[in-house]
Amino acid sequence: MLFISPTAYGQRTQKPPLHGKHWMAITGKPLAATAGAQLFQDGGNAVDAACAMLAATCTMWDVLSWGGETQALIYHPGLKKVIAINALGVAPTGATVSFFKEKGYDFPPEYGPLAALTPGTPGGLCHMLAEYGTKSLAEVLAPAMEMAKGYPIDAQTANSIERGKDRIKEWPYSKKVFLVHEGAEREAPEAGEIFVQEDLYQTLSKLVEAERKALAAGKDRKAAIMAASDRFYKGDIAEEFVRGSKEQGGLITKEDLANWKPIEEEPLHINYKGIDVYKLQQWTQGPAMLQALQILKNFDLQKMGYNSASYIHTVYQSMNLAFADRDFYYGDPYFGPPSPIESLLSSEYGKKRAVEIDPMKNNPFTGPGDPYSVNGKTNPYLEMINKRAAIYPPVQEKKGDFVPKHDVTGTPMGDGTPLVQNFASVDRDYMDRLWRGTTTVEAADAQGWVVSITPSGGWLPACIAGNTGIGMSQRIQSFVLDSLINPFNVVAPGRRPRVTLTPSLALKQGKPYLSFAVQGGDTQDQNLLQYFLNVAEFGMTAQQASEAANFNSNQLWLSLGGTKTEDRKPRAGSILLDHKTPKETLEALRDMGYSIQLGDRTSGPINAIYFDQKHGTLWGGSSNNGEDYGIGW
């Protein structure tokens, strides 16, 4: 039984699909989408528009700030290739296993100055704009700077500030910016109130000033933009950032900032039934979706039927196998040991993992596989994997329990409304950690440029570094302190953590086919996998797929939140399903050993652009869940 008629192109959706001939701009806030539209209207390309939307979402605190990290995939129409941008910060000097363990942590902290990596977004934005945009930094930052001078704050952000005010009061610079009615019953701004960020405005003005001075000195456009980046990482902005961080107990040094640079790299990709799907490298969780697709190639999903019990079971098991490998083998490729990523993504390994799926029941003990064996090599980690399974068994959920409906929104607590209410077997804090949000940026133009970004970091309640107005990243929590959990992702100075952030691009017949991304922590590649299958296998439009019912597995190690091992461990058989799931499907899954929870939102907001190769037009999809918004022309 289907929830919608997925092959019916005229199927009504709660939000209308977007159509465009010239360009498409979609992101997490309506005002930020407008910023992208402004750049397009001024003659900019998709990279210019994406950078403007990125700057605006950071300024509006759309569950990220300027001190966070940026991950991007860009399709270059001239080169006819996908380019990957790694603008993730690194662990600072002094961020060692012993440092955090001496403070009593099983995982690094999730809040405050000790949770911060070096900022990546300013450098990432400047690099993308300099290399692939057409506009000046001043033009791209103009909407964000106007917002910093004062914009009418939305209820979602204002309420996040109010909910987090007790923690915000621990950090003097955050209190100065956010608690504009200190001492009143409501200390945060009210919805619609003009929210002013003078320190951030001054910081952005310094970047524009550096660009202007470089141009006046005869530098070209690219060099001038990078002069602004240098001022952030090596100049007076860096000095104040480091001073403010250290004053509040942070570890970041001037050398950490000066030595950091974004990396332009080759993306990873696989071919799924004639569609080339691209993801960032294994410093993200993105390859897990590619692994799942390699497994699912071995099944007839259309014959199973969309969201049938057999379909849900097969996709769930495939995700668990891929995430088990993610949890053990993924980490910073620039900071050893070398990961067996090529073997993990091979068709041969996908077939091997597919054979492990029992069609009749859930495997509660899914663990890392042996990718080395597909090349006839001995896995050097087998002993470690066996020891890991004994020391860290999954949490065994109560099987078979489900209720007709729970009040669930697809919005994490960090984004606005509480995610879970009244769950019997999945607690509210756990689900927030699983879904913890960010934002996404999607842009495309008639010239063929396509951009997919999943930026994050510095979400509310954020610790602001001195008088910069910049909230520091909290991404250090995605490291592990025990190599048994993941030997490729142990915290160390200069290393990047393995993050959840995962933009996506797909090409068909060598041309852009789909650009898509979603917020939501460890659920991102679960929801993006299902989104892709909805379009590629079941013929849904970009908007239909954005609104379609998804399901989420909790049988994985959490990447965010909680500083104790029990906060992060996999929950065997735990699954979140749409509350409209037919009773017979629920009963079949219960008999397979699943612990079922139901909700009316089962996916974070998905934003996407579909490229109609037949008509030469753009279709935009923006989820009916959250504040995400798109504009096309």
**pLDDT value of position 75:** 98
Question: What pLDDT, in 10s, does the model give residues 275-302?
Answer: 999 999 999 999 999 999 999 999 999 9
Greatest pairwise CA separation for the chain in angstroms: 72
Question: What pLDDT, in 10s, does the model give residues 82-116?
Answer: 999 999 999 999 999 999 999 999 999 999 999 99
Planar angle of CA 29, 621, 627, nearest 5 degrees: 25
pLDDT category at 336 given cuts 50, 70, 90 is confident
Q: Which residues pair with 596 in a beta bridge?
A: 575
In whole angstroms, give the CA distance from residue 626 to residue 594: 29
**pLDDT value of position 6:** 44
**pLDDT value of position 339:** 94
Q: Report, as an integer, the average pLDDT of 449-461.
A: 96
Q: Report, as an integer, the average pLDDT of 527-540.
A: 97
**pLDDT value of position 623:** 86
Q: Which helix (H) or strand (E) holds 210?
A: helix 198-216
In this predicted structure, the answer to whether residue 398 has a pLDDT above a threshold of 70 is: no
**pLDDT value of position 625:** 81
Question: What pLDDT, in 10s, does the model give residues 121-143?
Answer: 999 999 999 999 999 999 999 99
**β-strand pairing of 441-445 with 23-27:** antiparallel
Query: What are the CA-CA distances from residue 581 to residues 230, 543, 547 (Å)?
Result: 53, 20, 15
**pLDDT value of position 482:** 97
Q: Report, as an integer, the average pLDDT of 17-36.
A: 97
Question: 361 — phi, psi (to 5°)?
Answer: -155, 155
pLDDT category at 382 given cuts 50, 70, 90 is very high
Token pair recorded at residue 3: 């929830």
pTM of the full predicted structure? 0.94
Cβ atoms < 10 Å from Cβ of 43: 10
